Structure 1
Amino acid sequence: MVKVLLIGDASREHAIADAFARSIHEPKLYAAMSRRNPGITKLCKRTGGDVAIGNIDDPNFVVKAALDFHVDFAFVGPEEPLFHGIPDALEETGVPCVGARRSMALVEMSKAFMRRLMWKYKVPGRLRFKAFKSLEDAVAYVNEYAESVAIKPARQAGGKGVKVIADLQVYLSKEKREVKAEHVKTVYEKHMAVYDDIDDKVLIEEKVEGPEYTLQAFTDGRTVLPLPAVQDNKNAYEMDIGPETGGMGSIAGPGWLLPFLTEEEYKQSVEIIQSVVEALWKETGVRYKGVISGQMMLTALWGPTIIEFYSRFGDPEACNVLPYIEADIVEISEAIIDERLNTIKISFPNIATVVKAVAPKGYPDHRDLARGHPVFIDEEAIRRRGCKVYYGSLDERSDETIVTAGSRIAEIVAAAPTIPEASEIAESCVQYVRLLDGWGVFHRSDIGSEVLLKKRIEQAQLIREIYHYRLSRRLIGKAIDWIPGRGKIEYEF
């Protein structure tokens, strides 16, 4: 019997655990978690496995759990254990791992590394950027250049700290410079203050616009097996307003595409991911074994364009695809480890899926207020309505009380022939996630709605017309500026 160790404790990891529990190989499932996720714990017990609670970013803790449980291989869910070298430590002790080694996970951990890699190997979908190690240099840059930019932490910081600033009105140029400089300071002094594992601190990129989507894929470093495209919704509140979160819900389908994405754009997106996997091999001599995800945007500059990479599944995006994958995750994992992923075939039913996250009030900006609230989730009622539920930022205490841990409580997944139909089914189940002490919860009812879907389709069509025009004029991969006194300046990407 196969024994598997899962590392992680959020909704994404619950979806991964559920996929292992459905395997025809009936593996024993074990989990290393920072807190006791009740859904993952239940699956471990059901399959005859067990759990270990500790610091999942600590290689010593995870390696000890793997050896104590005598597992055959491990599967890493979240990004921070990858950044801390958990797969490296496991494999050094003889435990195979599905999860990017640290040198591979840099493609997510360091946004500057990712941008430099794409430019060095001329991967399509790249953006102009500047990376800064010092606050003074970054502030001097934004004070000198009047550009529309995206200002970000140079490291993956849980989705925090990204601000896009349009600088188009000359009469507001002074005010825009001040806003840019202030946000550079915020990124440097707040969002990057807790990280000392990369040199670059602030990343400034050219501003692009368009609908975003995520393309997730399994890879063994040789073969890339893509999954259906998914669109996450990052903003906390209806119609894309409010602070950015880890993701308030996501849509996929019907089938492999999204309603605003063409088959050609999907293929181009896959080619970008394949090119980056090959570039990582050329750069490091290490095979990427795990999951890689392109966080993409359809832009007038390139069409499919990389905003960032994940070195793992997205959350909630994993919940759109893993419950419906028509392939065995044990067989996929073993093929990744043995570098024979080319022997695996993956298919999906021609359905649409919608995920809706339910979060405690206080999330995402005041997580201290969102912690410690007792939770009740009526799983049976959710199942009766045809949905699945994956437990998120929760902790099951020794007295079996389940309390919030500060982030999203749970993710509800529904499937139907169309996205709006799936949205309505998921919406009907939100009522079954509640807090017992009267503290409030919130979710986005508009995810997957006809109104929001129409907005995405119209935006994509406008962008598509522009980049098709640029393509017809051989302007893809080029930028043209006009500078007074110098005239037209053309940049080759």
Structure 2
Amino acid sequence: MKVLLIGSGGREHALAYMISRSPRQPRLYVLSDYVNPGLENVAEATGGKLYVGKTTDPQVALRVAREVNPDLVVIGPEEPLFHGVSDALLDEGLPVFGARSRLAEIEKSKVFARQLQWKYRIPGRLRFTAAKSLDEAAKAAEAMGDAAVKPARQAGGHGVKVFAAPAPHVDEAAAEVRRVYAEQLARRVAEKYGDIEHLVIVEERVEGVEYTLMTITDGSTVLPLPIVQDQPYLFIHDIGPETGGMGAIAGPGWTLPFITRDELEETKVIVERTIEALRRETGLEYRGALSAQSMLTALQGPVLIEYYARFGDPEISALAPIIESDMVELLERAATGKLAGAKLEIREDLHVVVKIVAPRGYPENRAKAKNHPIDYSEALEAARKLGCHVFTAGVYRAEDGRILTTGSRALEIVCASPTSHHDASMKAEKVIAGIRLLDGWELIHRRDIGTEQHVQLRIEEAERIRRVYLHRRRMGLGRVVYDWVPGRGVQIYDYG
């Protein structure tokens, strides 16, 4: 069996690892934007090959697919979906694990996602205002006190700013800050992307414990994966700029120590209702991964922060030690509409921690983080001894053989323990000690991810939130919210 994997980063290396473990012993071929050494090694070890080409170009993907003639195509990142790569391959008659571009709009456009939620009354929805121009963006942000101001298009987790309602005596100044930021963000989105109608979305601000539920679906059956919590902030104690993810924790079992099975089931309903709504809206079957980045809140319980039309990165890496099922079989059954009856077997005893290592400069000055020679040979040896994994992400093999950083997250260290997340976290630290940049440039990572204090704080926060939202439900509170919007009057939002 031949599998063609499209993508270049750590998510794809994790998927390549899981694919290579299949009892079918597939030959793995990879289309990557650069020579990712980890992906190249896995491909060659299976008798396959890595091709370098633009992963967002449908014609490049078609050219490689015609040469390989794969039995299954797996698309890792979102941008190839947005650019029609899945459409081109599906129209060629190939089985593809990856949603068509019309369906991937659920991630590409946050406005489309929120409109779909309200139109079909999908649970976990939030109030929002969308803006198509700089002026609309400024007015929307100025009018809303507690707000999250986001680019309306998926932008790799960048550009999101959360504004809490200030004290009355500084309200006017705070409104001006929101207005200026929204205007600047709208300008950046307009300059960078020309494939979306809205520029900025302003949502109600929510607080709570975030987590991600990833699923595999063929458009009818939804197979949930174990819950993972991404760690998006750059520095310890969850401060600093948001990134694509500086690590993750998963396990033991299907949930986390601070998320219940009932909350997982509620989140699964959000995904199931979304897939049904997409079918009704587009007439198309969603075949691929659909992930719900979610938050446990005191107001509603589980709410939807945003959708991913793919597996999360590094969330899927956290499941590499946990998933025991044949991943090739699951992906193929989803791609061919035969997922009904499939079961996911997992290691229920493992606590998993992922830590990302990145060059200083990421995420806000990637030029400074780029082209630093990296050596992680000692880390690979430590990982082998400790039973950990090193997945290569933002690194590439240059023509002279050196491995250099791309300016993004460089390596994903994945460690598991049958005893605790803290033990897995300490294993990851031992692996990271074997990584260095040969020119002396600084590497950064989150030492706190998975530590006892890190996990305990989330347990305590989730317990406080849970008491509140369950009480509100028992009392029938919070189903209807009234907003006063300047120029539009009273707006009524029914969450029921």
- Residue in 1 aligned with 2:222? 224
Give the letter for the 2:95 counterpart: P
- Residue in 2 aligned with 1:387? 388
- Residue in 2 aligned with 1:412? 413
Displacement, 1:386?
2.1
Displacement, 1:476?
4.8
Cα 1:478/1:40, change in 2 over 3 Å: same
Q: Report the identity percentage.
A: 45
Give the Cα–Cα distance (whole angstroms) in 2 for the partners of residues 146 and 189 of structure 1. 20
- Residue in 2 aligned with 1:59? 58
Partner SS, residue 319 of structure 2: helix
For 1:3-42, list aligned pairs within 5 A: 3-42=2-41
- Residue in 2 aligned with 1:473? 475
Displacement, 1:399?
2.7
Q: Check whether the contact 1:160–1:191 (CA below 8 A) recurs between aligned residues.
A: no
Cα 1:412/1:173, change in 2 over 3 Å: same
Cα 1:20/1:489, change in 2 over 3 Å: closer
Equivalent of residue 439 in structure 2, options 437, 443, 446: 437
- Residue in 1 aligned with 2:353? 354
TM-score, length of structure 2 as denominator length: 0.96
Give the letter for the 1:439 counterpart: W
Partner SS, residue 228 of structure 1: coil
Give the Cα–Cα distance (whole angstroms) in 2 for the partners of residues 300 and 192 of structure 1. 35
- Residue in 1 aligned with 2:461? 459
Partner SS, residue 18 of structure 1: helix
Equivalent of residue 167 in structure 1, options 157, 165, 175: 165
- Residue in 1 aligned with 2:92? 93
More divergent stretch after superposition (460-469 vs 52-61): 460-469
For 1:243-254, list aligned pairs within 5 A: 243-254=241-252
Give the Cα–Cα distance (whole angstroms) in 1 for the partners of residues 321 and 73 of structure 2. 20
Displacement, 1:428?
1.5
For 1:287-306, list aligned pairs within 5 A: 287-306=285-304
Partner SS, residue 280 of structure 1: helix
- Residue in 1 aligned with 2:235? 237
| CA deviation vs aligned residue, 1:398-444 (integer Å, no higher than 9, x gap) | 33211000111100111112211211111211112211111110100
Partner SS, residue 404 of structure 2: strand
Equivalent of residue 190 in structure 1, options 188, 192, 203: 188
Give the letter for the 1:452 counterpart: H
- Residue in 2 aligned with 1:255? 253
RMSD between aligned residues: 1.5
- Residue in 2 aligned with 1:332? 330
Cα 1:468/1:375, change in 2 over 3 Å: same
Displacement, 1:482?
9.4
Give the Cα–Cα distance (whole angstroms) in 2 for the partners of residues 478 and 98 of structure 1. 39
| CA deviation vs aligned residue, 1:118-173 (integer Å, no higher than 9, x gap) | 00110110000011101112212333x25210000000011111011012411111
- Residue in 1 aligned with 2:156? 158
Give the Cα–Cα distance (whole angstroms) in 1 for the partners of residues 383 and 453 of structure 2. 25
| CA deviation vs aligned residue, 1:207-236 (integer Å, no higher than 9, x gap) | 100010000010000000001100011110
Partner SS, residue 324 of structure 1: coil
Equivalent of residue 273 in structure 2, options 275, 287, 291: 275
Displacement, 1:311?
0.4
Give the Cα–Cα distance (whole angstroms) in 2 for the partners of residues 482 and 434 of structure 1. 55
| CA deviation vs aligned residue, 1:357-413 (integer Å, no higher than 9, x gap) | 000011111100111111111212221122111001011123321100011110011
Give the letter for the 1:428 counterpart: K
Give the Cα–Cα distance (whole angstroms) in 2 for the partners of residues 489 and 37 of structure 1. 51
Equivalent of residue 448 in structure 2, options 440, 446, 449: 446
Displacement, 1:188?
0.8
Give the Cα–Cα distance (whole angstroms) in 2 for the partners of residues 490 and 474 of structure 1. 17
Partner SS, residue 342 of structure 1: coil
More divergent stretch after superposition (289-298 vs 130-139): 130-139
TM-score, length of structure 1 as denominator length: 0.96
| CA deviation vs aligned residue, 1:231-276 (integer Å, no higher than 9, x gap) | 0111100101111111000001111111111111111011111110
Cα 1:376/1:489, change in 2 over 3 Å: closer
Q: Check whether the contact 2:137–2:186 (CA below 8 A) recurs between aligned residues.
A: no
Q: Check whether the contact 1:124–1:302 (CA below 8 A) recurs between aligned residues.
A: no
Give the Cα–Cα distance (whole angstroms) in 2 for the partners of residues 137 and 363 of structure 1. 31
Q: Check whether the contact 2:131–2:140 (CA below 8 A) recurs between aligned residues.
A: no
- Residue in 2 aligned with 1:76? 75
Give the Cα–Cα distance (whole angstroms) in 2 for the partners of residues 141 and 231 of structure 1. 31
Give the Cα–Cα distance (whole angstroms) in 1 for the partners of residues 28 and 454 of structure 2. 39
Q: Check whether the contact 1:146–1:173 (CA below 8 A) recurs between aligned residues.
A: no
Give the Cα–Cα distance (whole angstroms) in 1 for the partners of residues 483 and 140 of structure 2. 18
More divergent stretch after superposition (21-30 vs 335-344): 335-344
Partner SS, residue 323 of structure 1: coil
Partner SS, residue 81 of structure 1: helix
Partner SS, residue 382 of structure 1: helix
Give the letter for the 1:364 counterpart: P
Partner SS, residue 191 of structure 2: coil
Q: Which runs of 4+ in 1 moved over 4 A?
A: 480-483
Give the Cα–Cα distance (whole angstroms) in 1 for the partners of residues 102 and 391 of structure 2. 31
- Residue in 1 aligned with 2:45? 46
Cα 1:489/1:438, change in 2 over 3 Å: closer
Give the Cα–Cα distance (whole angstroms) in 1 for the partners of residues 280 and 230 of structure 2. 31
Give the Cα–Cα distance (whole angstroms) in 2 for the partners of residues 489 and 155 of structure 1. 25
Displacement, 1:469?
1.6
- Residue in 2 aligned with 1:211? 209
| CA deviation vs aligned residue, 1:14-40 (integer Å, no higher than 9, x gap) | 000111111110111000010010000
Q: Check whether the contact 1:15–1:323 (CA below 8 A) recurs between aligned residues.
A: no
Displacement, 1:282?
0.9
Q: Structure 2: where are the runs of 5+ without partners?
A: none
Give the letter for the 2:401 counterpart: E
Give the letter for the 1:437 counterpart: D
Q: Check whether the contact 2:382–2:430 (CA below 8 A) recurs between aligned residues.
A: no
